[in-house]
């Protein structure tokens, strides 16, 4: 029989706030983290805006020497993991270390390091490339460094499924605890890819908004005038824990994780399936895994990227799975405020679901002005909503046709 799994700690680094209190306050205020790029000169790019994390000091969470030897995405991962552990009041000891694991992924990894070291290679030659280049760049180093920093010796791996990464990481950690292979897992995603080369690549794909003169209104999921996503950065990590273990230590429980569904579109490297088939199958599988009826879901934190294809097809997929109930449940996209955190999106957005259950309030989809006939659900436009939220779903869909869906429910004992 599967173990029951609950979430007892959250850690978030986002463009709208560092830490759960700042993050939640910003969501409830409808604050947007998108602005003109400050970390480099973006004047030559078609898109010159992004959702950057500002006022973040990695030395608050890591030794200064270790900060220099790790990429920014790892700094975010370590910080969010420490926050989640502290929030949960969970202590790793020699007695439990082998039963505590880490799964933290990234869609892109150490892009900043890659660009910097390539420049050094071209300008100064191969002998000047850092001996830490590889370990700073590779995606698995977020999970590796977190385990080193906190002493977690249990299952450890990294997920790389583009924008579905955070969802898959948490879902895979959920399964590990269900099977009895760990008592607790830190899981989520981290991303720090707002760099010249990455920005140029996404610009070339014509995937991003070009509302450079109005950055706060650039991300507009499900709105008729949406014209693309805006890059964000940050990390979202949660502590999942076996229920009986959490109860024995009288832990605060945000919610029980009850369902996880995955699928592949098997259609195109960037475009979703034209019928929303992959997304629909992932949602349906998550509901079956949770053993609940679709009518029991109160809120969906949508993938909601603000791209023409995603928002229309995600809406179609929700209607395929939920039928008439699709028009009764609340659907919102917090990307309208955070931008698209790529591999970190699934972790950050599940935390938004957990805090919605905690506070019985639903974050809005800001910048919703012009209804799209093909996007005709309740997107909680522009202002947060007090509402009964017992069960919430988090959608994460990635390039390559990767889909991950999580279902969490308020724990009532």
Supply the residues annotated as catalytic: 163, 303, 340
CB distance 337 to 187 below 8 Å: no
Two tokens at 13?
A: 């680094």
83: tokens are 């926050």
In which region does residue 66 sit, left (phi positive, over 0), alpha (psi from -120 to 50) or beta (all else)? Answer: alpha
Q: What's the DSSP call for residue 89?
A: T
- Tell me the three state secondary structure of residue 69: coil
Contacts of 54 (CB under 8 A, 6+ apart): 15, 38
Q: How many helices and strands in the chain, by DSSP H and E?
A: 13, 15
Contacts of 113 by beta carbon, 8 Å cutoff, 6+ apart: 71, 133, 136, 137
Closest CA to 277 of 318, 239, 322, 248: 318
Q: Kindly list the distances between the CA atom of residue 109 and the CA atoms of 39, 196, 272, 343, in Å, as whole numbers in the listed order.
A: 18, 15, 23, 9
CB atoms near residue 118 (< 10 Å): 13
Q: Are 409 and 258 in contact (CB under 8 A)?
A: yes
Q: Are 201 and 311 in contact (CB under 8 A)?
A: no
For the beta carbon of residue 69, count every other beta carbon within 10 angstroms. 16
Alpha helices in 159-230 (DSSP H): 165-178, 196-204
Residue 71: name the closest of 208, 192, 249 by CA. 192
Burial class from Cβ neighbours inside 10 Å (0-12, 13-18, 19+) for residue 229 reads buried
């Amino acid at each position: 029989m599967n173990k029951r799994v609950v979430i007892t700690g959250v850690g978030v680094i986002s463009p709208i706030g560092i830490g759960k209190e700042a993050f939640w306050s910003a969501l409830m205020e409808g604050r947007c983290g998108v602005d003109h790029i400050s970390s480099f000169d973006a004047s030559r790019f078609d898109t010159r805006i992004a959702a950057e994390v500002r006022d973040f000091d990695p030395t608050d969470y890591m030794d200064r020497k270790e900060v220099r030897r790790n990429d920014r995405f790892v700094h975010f991962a370590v910080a969010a993991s420490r926050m989640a552990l502290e929030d949960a009041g969970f202590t790793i000891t020699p007695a439990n270390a082998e039963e505590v694991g880490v799964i933290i992924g990234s869609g892109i990894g150490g892009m900043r390091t890659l660009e910097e070291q390539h420049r050094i290679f071209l300008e100064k030659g191969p002998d000047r490339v850092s001996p830490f280049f590889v370990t700073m760049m590779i995606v698995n180093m977020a999970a590796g460094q977190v385990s080193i920093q906190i002493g977690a010796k249990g299952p450890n791996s990294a997920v790389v499924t583009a924008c579905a990464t955070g969802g898959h990481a948490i879902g895979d950690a959920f399964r590990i605890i269900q099977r009895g292979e760990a008592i607790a897992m830190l899981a989520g995603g981290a991303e720090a890819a707002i760099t010249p080369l990455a920005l140029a690549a996404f610009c070339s794909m014509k995937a991003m908004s070009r509302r450079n003169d109005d950055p706060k209104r650039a991300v507009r999921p499900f709105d008729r005038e949406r014209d693309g996503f805006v890059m964000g950065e940050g990390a979202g990590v949660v502590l999942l824990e076996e229920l009986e273990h959490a109860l024995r230590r009288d832990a605060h429980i945000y919610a029980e994780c009850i369902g996880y569904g995955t699928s592949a579109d098997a259609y195109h490297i960037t475009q979703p399936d034209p019928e929303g088939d992959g997304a629909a199958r992932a949602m349906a599988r998550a509901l079956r895994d949770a053993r609940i009826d679709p009518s029991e879901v109160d809120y969906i934190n949508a993938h909601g990227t603000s791209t023409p294809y995603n928002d229309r097809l995600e809406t179609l997929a929700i209607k395929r799975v939920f039928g008439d109930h699709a028009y009764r449940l609340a659907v919102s996209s917090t990307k309208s405020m955070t931008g698209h955190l790529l591999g970190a999106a699934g972790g950050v957005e599940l935390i938004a679901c957990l805090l919605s259950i905690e506070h019985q309030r639903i974050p809005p989809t800001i910048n919703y002005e012009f209804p799209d006939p093909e996007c005709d659900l309740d997107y909680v436009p522009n202002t947060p909503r007090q509402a009964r939220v017992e069960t919430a779903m988090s959608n994460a869909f990635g390039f390559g046709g990767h889909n991950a869906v999580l279902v969490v429910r308020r724990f009532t004992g």
